[in-house]
Amino acid sequence: MKTTIKETAQAYTPPQKTQNIADLDKVHVTEPIHFETVTGKDESWDQYYLERDAVKYVVKNSVLEQLKTFLEVNPNMTYFRVIKKGVGMETKYTVVPLGDEK
């Protein structure tokens, strides 16, 4: 069956880009986390990520560090969110504890 470039372009879905944990409204502290080594054009790096509905959300080390501090103070904390400010190497992440709503 032959198809045209137009039909192929209209049906094309680009590969899913990895998102950032700051793109989520809230995260439960017991949500499973994964680890992978990513290989780019000239380098490779390790990263943690959450996966929801087949979308990966990268979890930066600074987020894990802040979350650890909050959990030391309040081990019963259940939800948090992450706020992202800045671009590129100037990006800063802030963990915000949330109430225990479900």
Mean pLDDT per 10-residue segment, the chain (102 residues): 85 81 95 91 91 92 95 93 91 90 57
Domain contains 86: yes
The one-letter amino acid code at 49 reads Y
CA proximity to 94, closest of 85, 48, 86: 85
Domain contains 6: no
Structural domain for 38, as ranges: 14-98
Cβ burial of 17 (10 Å; 0-12, 13-18, 19+) is exposed
Domain contains 4: no
Domain contains 3: no
pTM score: 0.78
Domain contains 66: yes
Tally of domains within the chain: 1
